[in-house]
Amino acid sequence: MNFRRLKWIAITAPIAFLGVLEYARWVLGPEAGSIKGRLILDAVVLVGALFFYGAVFTILDMMQAKLARSNRELAALREASLDVTSHLALDTVLRKVVDLACNLVGTNYGALSVIDKTGRVRTFVTSGLTADEVERIGSPPVGRGLLGLVLREGQRLRLADMTQDRRSAGFPPNHPALRSLLAVPIICQGPLGGNLYLSEKIDGTQFTAEEEDTLARFATQAAIAIDNAYLHSQVRSLAVAEERLRIAHELHDGQAQVLAYVNTKAQAVQEFLRHGNTEKAAEQLEQLAAAAREVYSDVREGILGLRAMVDSEHSLTDALRQHVESWQDQCGIRAELTVSGEPHLTPDIELQILRIVQEALANVRKHSEATRAEVSVEVLPQGFRVQVSDDGVGFELDASGRPAGRPRFGLSTMRERAEAIGAQFKLESATGSGTRVAIEYAFTPDTRN
């Protein structure tokens, strides 16, 4: 608009100036050539030039001020968008969206409603209200009145006084008195949708069309953040489901071995008792009791491992630290975790790494006779390395790098988990020299979280 105005001033001002100048000459008549006449004409030229340049610079100042406001808005919008898209937990994203929207436009109150495919309000988040105020207000809105227009029809609304609008259904008891309203829909690609509401600007002015456009642009970024958070939650749910199937398979195989051992020992006890050899029977019963104690320790360790989870609130190193501390307290072997950097990965990869470390520590407890174990996490330029080492008795490896003699179930499980996520599984051990289990992983664009 200002560019068009400047263009017309540049075209019409010279024409108007020439007209005024010629009119001044006509009024002066023969005196136009005198000193007095020339001074009058010079004054007309000066006034015209001052008027022209004043108008031009006024418009340029207006354009510069508008550009500065736009730059500040874009900077704030970019910062808010980066902030809201950096979170993956849906509840955190929703609260960030409504808080940042209030800061972006400068309002006292804000709200965000999340709806599912059926149009039902799934979540309603507010900003500017205390927990006590929210509790006194009671149930969240269900979409009647003005909020329903945005909720059901995806309309934008910008009202100076919503209480005077015939479509308003009023407020519930204990609700703050609100007049102004700015509302825009949040249109997501996933199954969720949303609506963003702002009310009562801090400076007391009314909402402008520019602020409505600003909020609409922010709503687009908020939609991307909500979609990302929803997809992230789905990925985690799938990872948990797959992990449950994997654990069920491992428990089945492990328990089958234990039950076969128990059955063999029970049959041996029966045979010894039948032949009156109570000493041999007692020996077999002691071995059976030792197996029961071992199974009990395995079950406790399994429960301990399941408690340590990687989620939106706990990183991989957080989960490892929790498990190492609990494992040390349970089995009495001194353990240490060293971390150099945090590898941010997809949920399924983080979960598999956690399970490999847990299995490696379980092997330390059961087989190593170690007094000390160490878990290290090291971020490399193009990947990371996780290692579990102990100072135990160790064992010999064959030419292929696998345990010599009878295969070990736990090592096979760790190798399978590593191969499932595309990581390298490395095993180093020798009799009397302890054991080192390492997982080395190379980053790819789709494995970073």
Question: Which tens digits make up the pLDDT trace of 384-412?
Answer: 899 999 999 988 887 666 666 555 657 88
pLDDT of amino acid 351: 81
- The verdict on 65 and 94 lying in the same domain is no
Is 148 a residue whose pLDDT tops 70?
Answer: no
- The verdict on 105 and 193 lying in the same domain is yes
Averaged pLDDT of the chain: 77
- Highest average pLDDT, of 168-172, 182-186, 187-191, comes from 182-186
- The verdict on 26 and 151 lying in the same domain is no
pLDDT of amino acid 84: 58
Query: Which pairs with CB-CB distance under 8 Å and at least 24 residues apart come from 318-323?
Result: 319/350, 319/354, 320/354, 320/357, 320/375, 320/377, 323/354, 323/357, 323/358, 323/361
Q: What's the rounded Cα separation, in Å, for the pair 410 and 389?
A: 15
CATH of the domain at 319: 3.30.565.10
* Domain C-terminal end among 211, 230, 249: 230
Q: Is residue 36 part of a domain?
A: yes
pLDDT of amino acid 330: 81
- DSSP string spanning 343-401? --B-HHHHHHHHHHHHHHHHHIIIII--SEEEEEEEEETTEEEEEEEE-S----B-TTS
pLDDT of amino acid 284: 82
Question: Which tens digits make up the pLDDT trace of 115-137?
Answer: 777 767 778 888 888 888 878 87
**Residue linked to tokens 């030039």:** 49
- Number of alpha helices (DSSP H) and beta strands (DSSP E) in the chain: 10, 10
Is 431 a residue whose pLDDT tops 70?
Answer: yes
* Domain C-terminal end among 82, 105, 130: 82
- The verdict on 338 and 422 lying in the same domain is yes
- DSSP string spanning 112-133? EEEE-TT--EEEEEEES--HHH
Confidence of residue 338 (pLDDT cuts 50, 70, 90): very high
Please tell me the total count of domains within the chain: 3
Q: Is residue 254 part of a domain?
A: no
Q: Is residue 245 part of a domain?
A: no
- The verdict on 122 and 104 lying in the same domain is yes
- The verdict on 425 and 322 lying in the same domain is yes
- The verdict on 34 and 65 lying in the same domain is yes
CATH of the domain at 183: 3.30.450.40
More confident residue, 294 or 341: 341
* Domain C-terminal end among 187, 210, 230: 230
Note down the domain range covering 197: 88-230
pLDDT of amino acid 425: 92
Confidence of residue 336 (pLDDT cuts 50, 70, 90): very high
pTM given for the model = 0.45
Confidence of residue 288 (pLDDT cuts 50, 70, 90): confident
- The verdict on 447 and 317 lying in the same domain is yes
pLDDT of amino acid 39: 77
The closest of 321, 324, 347 to 421, measured between CA atoms, is: 347
Q: What is the mean pLDDT of residues 419-440?
A: 90
Q: What is the mean pLDDT of residues 356-366?
A: 88
Confidence of residue 372 (pLDDT cuts 50, 70, 90): very high
- The verdict on 335 and 446 lying in the same domain is yes
Q: Is residue 70 part of a domain?
A: yes
- The verdict on 17 and 43 lying in the same domain is yes
Q: Is residue 243 part of a domain?
A: no
* The two structure tokens encoding residue 244: 């449950």
- The verdict on 101 and 76 lying in the same domain is no
* The two structure tokens encoding residue 56: 């031009």
Q: What is the mean pLDDT of residues 193-198?
A: 84
Q: What's the rounded Cα separation, in Å, for the pair 417 and 422?
A: 9
Q: Is residue 306 part of a domain?
A: no
- The verdict on 323 and 406 lying in the same domain is yes
Q: Is residue 257 part of a domain?
A: no
Q: What's the rounded Cα separation, in Å, for the pair 124 and 140?
A: 6
Return the percentage of the chain with pLDDT > 90, whole number.
9
Q: Is residue 286 part of a domain?
A: no
